[in-house]
Amino acid sequence: MLALIAAVGCQCGEDPAGLTDGGTGPDTGTPGPDAVMALELTPAEAQLVTDGVTPATQAFVVTAVKSDGAREDVSAQATLTLSDPRVGNLAGADFTSALAGGEATLTAAYGGRTAEAHIVVTLQVEVFQPGPQSPTIPANSGDLIDNAPEVPGRAPTLVYPNDGVMFPPNLGGVEVHFMPGPSENWLFELRFEAANARVRVYTRCLPSFGGCIYTVHPDIWQVLADSARGLAPITLTIFGGDDVGSGRGTGGTIELNIAAADVVGGLYYWTTSNGTGIMRVDFGDPEQQPERFFPFSGDGCYGCHAVSRDGRRMSLSQNGQWDGRVTVVDVRAKAALTAVDDARREQFQSWHPDSDRFVGAFGDGNPPDTNLRIRNGDTGDVLETIPLGVEPTHPDWSPVGDRIAFTKVTHHQTSQRPGRGGIAYVSALAGGGWSAAVDLVPPEDGKNRYYPAYAPDGRALVYCESICANGDIYNGDCDGDADPVAKLWAVSADGGAPIALARANAPGVRDEGRQDLTNTYPKWAPFVDAKARDGSGRLMWFTFSSRRQYGLRAPTGTGQLLWMAAVDPDALARGEDGSYPAFALPFQDLSTSNHIAQWTTRIVPPRPDPGGSDGGTCREEGETCEPGEGDCCGNLACTESSPGRYICRLNL
């Protein structure tokens, strides 16, 4: 292969050779015999392949071309750097790839000269997944599929994931659902292709819910996702054939986008399984196994909950409608900080970004309560009352800390079932106190707008809208409590035209065009990440509950499952639908109903030994920090999470 040779150029007033030490003769200004005139890096193009298990390797040679024509191997002395260290690592001039595909520029520097080489690592994997009734798969399955004649009417059909979905690269348990097509199809290929990756899965139909479900092995998913994160989408195509190559059917192709950065944070959600309770899962944990968090012991129904941003405190209400006695919990210690008190009721709560206080609303009495209350995050005592003159529910404190949004209720029922709602907010005043309520999306006859949630940058909100049947002002279709017609909308924090999140609201293949999917209780993951691998663009994530079909899986009874969707905040700022099609969270219990997924920056670990190694001096994930102070623990970095607000988070 041709070597890349650095060109020699000069400009007025410069040393014509760009020489370093010993570069010129003593009197003439001409290059000395040791001057480096050019640098070569070979090979200039390295095309490497990994199977996702064994890394690829390449030895590079750096050659200095001296002024007298001599050539010297300076590989050991040169400085070599990779433009993208995720592609692999260097030991001197020896490159070892990661287990995923990718591209990088390798730059060598020596004697004032540089040279470059281009490295392309391609992931190529074949996976053979037998079925329970067919323990073997032909070793030549690829040839059987590739060489079989195309037969009309023999194509299988992809059912899930949804075309155009955006996945976090660290989402474990990704499933592919498909209908097998005619009975002649016994052998199936799922072909995942990206710029630097090709994964071919040969499988049987693993019968499930009238079709076939294949779960991508976590190791395969990881190297595939790492190959495409923040780049062009992966295409997934399905083929159906048999073990003798008599014919094949080619199904449709869908696109799977992979985000540049992992989603991290703690997720707490309410489940109706095992007597109800609050479950939690660490999204940054590759195992992603939920644990039952609350109640710690005994019975009791606790549903509507909120978690402080730093993950140390939780508030939650007891027994639902007409009760709502609020409890404050020390998450690290797994202990209740407050006893049940009949005078302390807040059906819905939201925490200040400093995690020291929360705002609550309770509207189950008659006449309705027209105040928001701010309570101490340790004792639950009222610190401040915000009179609104209108009934509120569903408060949500902006991550910037300057506003509290809420549902403005104009048809009284209960906090859980508000009527004819609008989206409003109050602003903190410079001298203390709060502004009058400002409408963002006003109440309107025949509609209910409710459950606002601020995006992690504080610049937009997502909320629900239900349309009442028969033109009514209020009925069971629009009471804000798991309404079948509920849809997700977004609006700028400063107002403007609401934006329908059509792609997140959209049905999947097996929903067969149904538009009423009960899309409710949206909440945002805590961070804003880069959208592309080069750091450009922005991406956010939110979860919601829905009765839509999880591919071939239908929710149990009237239950709801947790779904997640990515959002491009810059598209929202332009007034566009910035959402992506949604995906089901695979780790949840699919036999029950799951709701109200609340996010925090981290799952707080058990209380540490007071004599721990950090001595309590560094700041943990989710805590506020000052840029440049270096006070974040371990591998955490002080990162801007909203305008002017910095927190410690994983250094990605």
Q: What percent of the chain clears pLDDT 70, i.e. is strictly above it?
A: 91
* The pLDDT of residue 160 is above 70: yes
Phi, psi (rounded to 5 degrees) for 334:
50, 55
Quote the pLDDT of residue 643. 63
Region 552-563 average pLDDT: 91
Quote the pLDDT of residue 440. 98
The more confidently predicted of residues 647 and 88 is: 88
Number of Cβ atoms within 10 Å of the Cβ of 44: 17
Quote the pLDDT of residue 642. 62
Quote the pLDDT of residue 21. 41
Range of lowest pLDDT (261-270, 451-460, 617-626): 617-626
Quote the pLDDT of residue 610. 41
647 by Cβ neighbours in 10 Å (0-12 / 13-18 / 19+) ranks as buried
Would you call the peptide bond into 161 cis, given omega within 30 degrees of 0 as the criterion?
yes
| Chain segment 134-143, per-residue pLDDT in tens | 779 999 999 9
58 CB contacts (<8 Å, ≥6 apart)? Answer: 43, 46, 48, 94, 95, 119
- Rg (the chain; Cα; Å): 29
Contact 390, 435 (CB under 8 A): no
Q: What percent of the chain clears pLDDT 90, i.e. is strictly above it?
A: 77
* The pLDDT of residue 401 is above 90: yes
Confidence of residue 50 (pLDDT cuts 50, 70, 90): very high
Range of lowest pLDDT (312-326, 382-396, 437-451): 312-326
Confidence of residue 626 (pLDDT cuts 50, 70, 90): confident
Quote the pLDDT of residue 16. 33
Quote the pLDDT of residue 649. 75
Quote the pLDDT of residue 284. 77
* The pLDDT of residue 545 is above 50: yes
What DSSP line would sit under 311-369, residue for residue? SSEEEEEESSTTT-EEEEEETTTTEESS---TT-B-SEEEE-TTSSEEEEE---SSSPP
Residue 570's SS3 state is: helix
Region 215-229 average pLDDT: 96
* The pLDDT of residue 432 is above 90: yes
Range of lowest pLDDT (1-15, 163-177, 258-272): 1-15
Contact 641, 649 (CB under 8 A): yes
Closest listed residue to residue 82, CA positions, set 58, 66, 63, 112:
58
Quote the pLDDT of residue 646. 79
Structure tokens that stand for 522 in this block? 């949206």
Confidence of residue 273 (pLDDT cuts 50, 70, 90): confident
Quote the pLDDT of residue 11. 36
Quote the pLDDT of residue 33. 65
Range of lowest pLDDT (78-87, 113-122, 292-301, 424-433): 292-301
Question: Pairing mode, if any, of strands 113-129 and 197-203?
Answer: parallel
> Which domains are present in the chain?
4-117 (2.60.40), 130-258 (2.60.40.10), 284-302+365-600 (no CATH), 608-652 (no CATH)
Q: How far is CA 337 from CA 314, 334, 350, 639, in A?
A: 10, 10, 17, 31
Rounded CA gap, 562 and 172, in Å?
Answer: 15
| Chain segment 349-398, per-residue pLDDT in tens | 999 999 999 999 999 999 999 999 999 999 999 999 999 999 999 999 99
* The pLDDT of residue 214 is above 90: yes
- Work out the mean pLDDT of the chain and round it to a whole number: 90
| Chain segment 468-521, per-residue pLDDT in tens | 999 899 999 999 999 999 999 999 999 999 999 999 999 999 999 999 999 999
Quote the pLDDT of residue 212. 96
Confidence of residue 17 (pLDDT cuts 50, 70, 90): very low
* The pLDDT of residue 420 is above 50: yes
Contact 577, 500 (CB under 8 A): yes
Beta pairing partners, 540: 567
Number of Cβ atoms within 10 Å of the Cβ of 596: 25
Q: What is the reported pTM?
A: 0.89
Closest listed residue to residue 189, CA positions, set 214, 226, 208:
214
Range of lowest pLDDT (29-33, 222-226, 278-282): 29-33
Region 111-127 average pLDDT: 97
Please, how many CA atoms are within 13 Å of residue 431, restricted to the half-sphere of its CB?
A: 0
Quote the pLDDT of residue 257. 98
Confidence of residue 619 (pLDDT cuts 50, 70, 90): confident
The more confidently predicted of residues 308 and 298 is: 308
Quote the pLDDT of residue 88. 97
Q: Phi/psi class of residue 442: alpha, beta or left (left: φ > 0; alpha: ψ in -120 to 50)? A: beta
Residue 146: its H or E element: helix 141-147
Phi, psi (rounded to 5 degrees) for 472:
-70, 160
Region 109-121 average pLDDT: 97
